[in-house]
Structure 1
Amino acid sequence: MSGSATYRSAPEHPTSVERLDPGGVDRHLAELADVLCSCVHGGASVGFLPPFTAADAYRYWRDVRDLLGAGGRVLLVARRDGLVVGTAQLVLATPANGAHRAEVCKVLVHPDARRDGVGRALMDAVDAQARRYGRSLLVLDTVRGSAGERLYRAVGYQVSGVIPGYARSTEGTLEDTTVMFKVLSPNPVRG
């Protein structure tokens, strides 16, 4: 999957974010796999460890496609010049007492498209989708001190706590994870 097109875009080529359905995953499977492989090979701690192959990435995205088909999950992709340069997922499936919240996961930005507003565009779209589904609380976890944590803080997430040695890094060391949350709107008062 390496050797992909360079994603850096001039300001006149803005990022667009759209929601993919299962058919969209099939149509963009190679691009989705490229983003995931590039992130994992770049050291991102997103649940996968080396050796991580293109076949592993294709399998992951097919599993996501199946979850989309079952409902309860939203997949967003960021595009530049027609190419997928980032992804984010919103997991809506919760117990009845948690129907006001959702989990944000697999926020991925291709290394060639980082520090150019793609992550922020994805997070803004996550907020909009969460509101669309009536969610008022978002939760996520990320590697402590990472660029992801800085992005999440910048878009309004607060730290709930840190779990030491939570996940193994791509280098094999145990990394601390920061658990974060964002309140989109106050809880309604029920009588």
Structure 2
Amino acid sequence: MRFVLAPEMTPDLFEELLDCWTEATNAGGAVGFVPPVSPEDIRPTAEKALARTEDDLLVGFDDDGRVACWLILADNGSALRAHWRWVVRVMVHPKHQGKGYGRALMLAADDAARGLGLEALQLTCRGGTGVDAFYASVGYREVGRVPGSIRVAPGDDRDEIHLIKWL
């Protein structure tokens, strides 16, 4: 797999990222939506997320040159916090699940962050999915939770878990 930080955003790349987001959501990924979704459901959010010029997109391309996984290193908007970034929209295309691409993506994010001169990465994840254990396995530690702050469906509220990794 080949990782590219801040690739040129072409219409084709945007559509591949959107496809990955749609497929990841429909496979049960906790990436901002609840399945079932279509690309058109996600498109407005994707357009906003991928248009922020202060953020850095990190994309993992498979051997065929297609988007396999991606995340955003999001600027936090504060000079007082310029030494760290948020890791958001972490996803692996379902056809690549179980191949270690998620771990490779997170380690590539560490390398990219160090290259940007950052000292830490923070992220949040949805409780009840088990993904917090994955993040712990790549060096993140839980620093807090907001109980019931994510409403997946009526009667299905989840904690938002806050994690940090010092580089």
TM-score with structure 2 length normalisation?
Answer: 0.87
Give matches, 1:29-44, under 5 Å: 29-44=14-29
Q: Tell me the matched-pair count.
A: 166
Give matches, 1:113-128, under 5 Å: 113-128=96-111
Report the AA paired with residue 177 of structure 1.
E
| Contact 2:5 2:112 survives alignment (8 Å) | no
Question: Secondary structure of the residue that 1:169 maps to in structure 2?
Answer: strand
- Structure 1's 130 and 171: CA in aligned 2 closer, same or farther, altered over 3 A? farther
RMSD (CA atoms): 2.1
1:58 maps to: 43
TM-score with structure 1 length normalisation?
Answer: 0.77
**Does residue 60 of structure 2 align to residue 78 of structure 1?**
yes
Report the AA paired with residue 28 of structure 2.
G
- More displaced 10-residue stretch of structure 1: 162-171 or 119-128: 162-171
How far the C-alpha of 1:92 sits from its partner, in A, is 2.2
Provide the rounded CA distance (Å) in 2 between the counterparts of 1:164 and 1:86: 29
Provide the rounded CA distance (Å) in 1 between the counterparts of 2:90 and 2:154: 20
1:108 maps to: 91
- Structure 1's 151 and 51: CA in aligned 2 closer, same or farther, altered over 3 A? closer
Percent of matched pairs sharing the same residue: 31
How far the C-alpha of 1:171 sits from its partner, in A, is 8.1
**Does residue 30 of structure 2 align to residue 45 of structure 1?**
yes
Provide the rounded CA distance (Å) in 1 between the counterparts of 2:28 and 2:153: 6
Provide the rounded CA distance (Å) in 1 between the counterparts of 2:73 and 2:86: 6
Moved over 6 A (4+): none
| Higher Rg of the two aligned structures | 1
Return 5+ residue gaps in structure 1 as ranges. Answer: 1-14, 185-191
Return 5+ residue gaps in structure 2 as ranges. Answer: none
2:9 maps to: 24
| Contact 2:127 2:160 survives alignment (8 Å) | yes
Provide the rounded CA distance (Å) in 2 between the counterparts of 1:170 and 1:115: 28
Question: Secondary structure of the residue that 1:27 maps to in structure 2?
Answer: helix
How far the C-alpha of 1:118 sits from its partner, in A, is 0.8
How far the C-alpha of 1:52 sits from its partner, in A, is 2.8
Question: Secondary structure of the residue that 1:18 maps to in structure 2?
Answer: strand
1:3 maps to: none
Provide the rounded CA distance (Å) in 2 between the counterparts of 1:56 and 1:172: 23
